[in-house]
């Protein structure tokens, strides 16, 4: 049975079809521009052709429009608006407002990829929750010049690593369509992660690189006009070291917004030990804190994984082979803040007894409906209040991944990343940008 959802899951979004926005376009169209229109300190000031609107008011109105609608406006209105919307300061102000005040301004998207495939599929998280069963959520596919994996996402940017050479990375904003030019990073990553240093306003890529000699070295790459690697203190857990009392679970670190940290789950090799290894991208140091304690009934043969849910760290344990226990860290770095968020009962369509997989939480709506990836390989909506489940209808027929089953039947080897749309561009922090590395994929009939 389909779970019960609130009657209005998301607040009404403003887009370019809104009559108010259309009026603003007409008022600022080239037909109304003349020699008395000018810019002052990056603010729009128009003295004729329309009622005098203060530049601050115009900017305030634009800051209330979703990022995707602003991209359409940017390409269809007067030059002064285009300059404002394209500016780094406006992108930062819009991002700050959308994340802190109104999440409806930054549409939540889910991107996925599969190794050795040049396609990255993207679909709306909103549609997954809202669409009725007979109305599928459409996947929008993008094709790259090369096969690339998604290392991580932050502030609307996806960091993509070249699958073939593994020594080149690009930053891509799917909302604006802009990417950085490929950057040579050197070496092969064993562990890696992408995040934002909010103190120094820098985007950083951390990589534990394996040299040709077999040695490993830990480096941080700071994206900017003088992008380069710097070697930092070695990753605390050496690769393939049998003396390690714990192993690192997962290749890519989970970035927690607002903390400037990348995080990995640590799992005891011969004990119930579970912890979180944290890398501070600001101080470029390491720390470690406890994960939720495992019950004696937890199935330790099933590996737990670390995820992000609602901007917080999340861990899901298999318990008694009858249900999953979902934990959320409500205050970053404070072990006492681990809270048992939900108990999700096993369902025959969700489990796979042949694989030691756990339910992977992806996104939760209003603390009652959870989108997750089940051990059976299906995306599922779980109502944690009444226990009902629902399999969303996602149309992936256009994604060109012909070797995989349709998403509605199973995710296969697809790997998912959730991101919020933004106007942030690689050019805002000194990187040359282009629009040719990732383009809409048009499947051949």
Domain extent for 228: 107-440
Rounded to a whole number of angstroms, the CA Rg of the chain reads 23
> Does the residue 161 lie in any domain?
yes
Do 220 and 156 contact (CB within 8 A), yes or no? Answer: no
Q: What angle do CA 157, 158, 161 make, to 5 degrees?
A: 145
pLDDT of residue 416: 95
> Does the residue 73 lie in any domain?
no
> Does the residue 179 lie in any domain?
yes
pLDDT in tens, 163-194: 776 678 899 999 999 999 888 876 678 899 99
Among 21-30, 74-83, 272-281, the least confident range: 21-30
Whose tokens are 């990995």? That residue is 264
128 phi/psi in degrees, rounded to 5:
-60, -40
H helices of 75-141, in order, are: 79-86, 88-100, 125-130
Look up the pTM and report it.
0.85
Among 119-128, 148-157, 359-368, the least confident range: 359-368
The average confidence (pLDDT) of the chain is 82
> Does the residue 58 lie in any domain?
no
* Average pLDDT score over residue span 224-228: 81
Angstrom distance (rounded) from CA 233 to CA 52: 58
pLDDT class of 203 with cuts at 50, 70, 90: very high
> Does the residue 206 lie in any domain?
yes
Do 171 and 434 contact (CB within 8 A), yes or no? Answer: no
Do 164 and 181 contact (CB within 8 A), yes or no? Answer: no
**Statement: residue 37 has pLDDT above 50:** no
More confident residue, 188 or 35: 188
pLDDT in tens, 300-326: 778 889 999 999 999 999 888 889 999
pLDDT of residue 311: 92
* Average pLDDT score over residue span 135-144: 93
Question: What percent of the chain lies above the pLDDT cut of 70?
Answer: 83
CATH number of residue 135's parent domain:
2.120.10.80
pLDDT of residue 52: 43
> Does the residue 46 lie in any domain?
no
Q: How many domains does the chain have?
A: 1
Q: Which long-range contacts (CB under 8 A, 24 or more apart) does 125-128 make?
A: 125/363, 125/371, 125/418, 126/9, 126/10, 128/371, 128/379, 128/381, 128/392, 128/394
Strand stretches in 86-215, DSSP E? 108-113, 119-124, 137-138, 140-144, 148-154, 157-162, 168-173, 178-180, 183-184, 188-197, 202-210
Residue 298 DSSP class: B
> Does the residue 270 lie in any domain?
yes
> Does the residue 4 lie in any domain?
no
CA distances from 199 to 101, 261, 285 (A): 21, 12, 15
């Amino acid at each position: 049975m389909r779970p019960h959802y609130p009657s209005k899951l998301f607040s009404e979004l403003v887009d370019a079809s809104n009559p108010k926005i259309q009026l603003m376009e007409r008022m600022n169209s080239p037909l109304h521009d003349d020699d008395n229109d000018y810019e002052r300190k990056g603010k729009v000031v128009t003295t004729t052709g329309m009622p005098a609107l203060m530049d601050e008011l115009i900017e305030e109105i634009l800051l209330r429009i979703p990022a995707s609608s602003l991209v359409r406006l940017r390409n269809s209105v007067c030059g002064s608006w285009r300059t404002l919307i394209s500016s780094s300061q406006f992108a930062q102000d819009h991002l700050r407002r959308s994340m802190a005040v109104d999440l409806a301004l930054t549409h939540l998207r889910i991107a996925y990829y599969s190794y050795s495939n040049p396609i990255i599929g993207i679909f709306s998280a909103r549609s997954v929750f809202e669409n009725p069963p007979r109305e599928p959520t459409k996947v929008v596919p993008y094709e790259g010049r090369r096969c690339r994996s998604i290392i991580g996402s932050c502030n609307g940017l996806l960091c993509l690593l070249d699958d073939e050479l593994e020594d080149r990375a690009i930053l891509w904003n799917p909302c604006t369509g802009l990417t950085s030019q490929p950057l040579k990073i050197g070496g092969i990553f064993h562990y890696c992660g992408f995040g934002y240093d909010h103190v120094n306003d820098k985007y950083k890529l951390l990589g534990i690189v394996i040299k040709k000699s077999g040695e490993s070295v830990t480096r941080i790459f700071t994206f900017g006009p003088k992008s380069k690697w710097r070697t930092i203190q070695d990753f605390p857990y050496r690769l393939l070291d049998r003396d390690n009392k714990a192993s690192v679970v997962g290749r890519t670190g989970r970035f927690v917004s607002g903390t400037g940290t990348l995080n990995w789950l640590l799992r005891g090799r011969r004990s119930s030990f579970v912890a979180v290894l944290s890398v501070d991208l600001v101080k470029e140091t390491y720390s470690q804190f406890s994960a939720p304690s495992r019950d004696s009934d937890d199935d330790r043969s099933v590996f737990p994984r670390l995820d992000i849910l609602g901007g917080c760290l999340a861990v899901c344990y298999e318990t008694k082979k009858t249900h999953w226990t979902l934990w959320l860290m409500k205050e970053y770095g404070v072990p006492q803040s681990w809270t048992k968020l939900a108990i999700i009962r096993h369902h025959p369509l969700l489990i796979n007894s042949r694989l030691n997989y756990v339910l992977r939480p992806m996104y939760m709506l209003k603390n009652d409906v959870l989108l997750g990836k089940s051990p059976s390989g299906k995306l599922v909506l779980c109502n944690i209040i009444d226990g009902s489940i629902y399999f969303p209808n996602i149309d992936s027929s256009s994604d060109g991944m012909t070797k995989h089953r349709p998403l509605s039947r199973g995710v296969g080897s697809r790997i998912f990343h959730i991101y919020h749309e933004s106007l942030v561009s690689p050019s805002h922090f000194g990187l040359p940008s282009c629009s040719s590395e990732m383009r809409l994929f048009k499947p051949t009939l």
